[in-house]
Structure 1
């Protein structure tokens, strides 16, 4: 008997001794991959890891004894399919999205509470400093608010012109353009505050301060004309969500920057990766908040012109976000 015939005989005997297990594993993988995972019985699910290990063992023997390449290829493919069943995540896209909104995002935001307080304090500080400077000297307004953002709503504008921009009675198209520009401005600040956090937090801090200063300068201008209450309603109907998103983006940037600057006992790369997981989840939610703020800006503010009602909507969004992120909840364990 030739060496080739001997090898083929060994391969056939090897296959016959184990082929039933391979075929069973293959049928179970076919069933699972066709979307029928829920139809697998408990016995079948428990059998898959055992069959998988048996197949891996057979693959190892086949490689060591140089059995025919066709059998080795078959076992490699079957082992790879079973590996993803045993070790891979079997959650659907809907499951992942549900887990993100139900637990992952709120948990990430709660984990950033210290950075959130710092970010919020910096924004408030920027607003107070700008308000003080503009109230003392109106020309400071131009240092904090670029011309394309003010759109003529500056100290040179009349009180009636400023009032008309709040109630929509005048220059409605210009108001819409200004509102869209303001939203885009805040969204850019939020994304940059996160993206530049790695630079030891300094760009993030400056951006958050600047955003607060812009708001402080605007409010001081309108308040000096007796329009502070009206401006508050005009801004906050969407600003509660939008500004909170900026604060959270700043907090995420601070988490990254602090990990770079102070990694502790861990390697700096490990510290940054760990911080990035929490910050990244929080930023994924910030994008959702900005989209929601855009809807409020595009529809709510244009349709709701009563100042009192605007404050009601603003308060409702504040309660909504506060309860969603910080209300006590029972954590659920995610099964992979």
Structure 2
């Protein structure tokens, strides 16, 4: 035992100066950033790291005391992330996300996104046909709290007033936008989160979401206000529905990976697909925020139908170009 302690002290005495120098450089870089290191210090860092790594290998081989091995393991781990780790600033990371990561994730999900969109269209068409044939179907698709007085019993004048009423600024349009953003975010998150259950809950949610729109459109169309309702909805819906379709596509992709994992295990397939889908979902939150602002402000302040449709067209084309316009692959 005494021989081992002597060997450990001699080993430390011969190399400790280099370990301490490496530790000081790491503390300086961690506290003030790598840019504060001089040129000589930057060049010395990988040399000191390799020396510490060699010392750790020797210490393990000759079974020196555990405290020394633990110290060297911690030191080498810190140095490894400095020497070989990728260091990006917050601004650079955000730029990479918006310029590359998010659009790439959405492009990879284009097939399930198309399926999600078609499911909403089917739900809208079915609900529209049913409500036009029998208005009593309306309550099966739209909750009274959601309709807010826009139902088959409302007169044409009452429906028109809901489309063009200008709220008092004191009512707090920002509060209204926040409420709608929260509601739409819940729909999108449920569509994503429920996808693992073999796609069925997500598919059902997409159909039901479309059915709500179809039922509302049928009520307004009975009074000749279908075109006006389209502008009222699409000024924010071009962004909102696109976001929900992407969220539904993300959920469907995870469910599909669980059902058909291929050569991978179901857990591995779901995890791999889930990482890509999660990147797309992070951007969906941004889209829903934009939709909430358009709903709470632009739609209420801009009452001309053609202006509303113009904004819907511009935002729809902008999102489509942003996601699917060909671009150079990221290095």
The TM-score, its normalising length taken from structure 1, stands at 0.88
Q: 1:123 aligns with which of 120, 123, 134?
A: 120
Does structure 1 conserve the Cα–Cα contact (< 8 Å) formed by 2:254 and 2:270? yes
1:261: how far off? 0.3
1:182: how far off? 5.9
**Aligned residue number for residue 192 of structure 1:** 190
Q: CA RMSD in A?
A: 2.8
Q: 1:58 aligns with which of 25, 49, 55?
A: 55
1:37 and 2:34 matched: yes
Does structure 2 conserve the Cα–Cα contact (< 8 Å) formed by 1:149 and 1:182? no
Distance 1:211 1:80, change over 3 A: same
Q: 1:297 aligns with which of 295, 298, 310?
A: 295
Counterparts in 2 of 1:72-221, with a 5 A limit? 72=69, 74-168=71-165, 184-221=182-219
**Aligned residue number for residue 247 of structure 2:** 249
Does structure 1 conserve the Cα–Cα contact (< 8 Å) formed by 2:180 and 2:292? no
**Aligned residue number for residue 312 of structure 2:** 314
Does structure 2 conserve the Cα–Cα contact (< 8 Å) formed by 1:151 and 1:178? no
1:30: how far off? 2.7
1:145: how far off? 1.1
Gaps of 5+ in 2: none
**Aligned residue number for residue 28 of structure 1:** 25
Question: Take 2:273 and 2:134, find their aligned partners in 1: how far apart are those partners?
Answer: 42
**Aligned residue number for residue 288 of structure 1:** 286
Does structure 2 conserve the Cα–Cα contact (< 8 Å) formed by 1:236 and 1:314? yes
Cα distance per residue 1:291-313 (max 9 Å; x no partner): 11111111212222222211121
The TM-score, its normalising length taken from structure 2, stands at 0.89
Greater Cα offset, 184-193 or 301-310: 184-193
Distance 1:33 1:129, change over 3 A: same
Question: Take 1:208 and 1:259, find their aligned partners in 2: how far apart are those partners?
Answer: 19
Question: Take 1:131 and 1:63, find their aligned partners in 2: how far apart are those partners?
Answer: 74
SS at match of 2:153: coil
Cα distance per residue 1:18-43 (max 9 Å; x no partner): 23432442243133212331354677
SS at match of 1:196: helix
Distance 1:291 1:169, change over 3 A: closer
Does structure 1 conserve the Cα–Cα contact (< 8 Å) formed by 2:127 and 2:212? yes
1:87: how far off? 4.3
1:233: how far off? 1.2
How many residue pairs get aligned? The number is: 330
Question: Take 1:291 and 1:178, find their aligned partners in 2: how far apart are those partners?
Answer: 12
Question: Take 1:265 and 1:7, find their aligned partners in 2: how far apart are those partners?
Answer: 52
Distance 1:177 1:292, change over 3 A: closer
Distance 1:243 1:258, change over 3 A: same
Does structure 1 conserve the Cα–Cα contact (< 8 Å) formed by 2:18 and 2:48? yes
1:169: how far off? 5.4
Gaps of 5+ in 1: none
Greater Cα offset, 147-156 or 92-101: 92-101
Question: Take 1:284 and 1:130, find their aligned partners in 2: how far apart are those partners?
Answer: 31
Distance 1:66 1:188, change over 3 A: closer
Question: Take 2:177 and 2:12, find their aligned partners in 1: how far apart are those partners?
Answer: 72
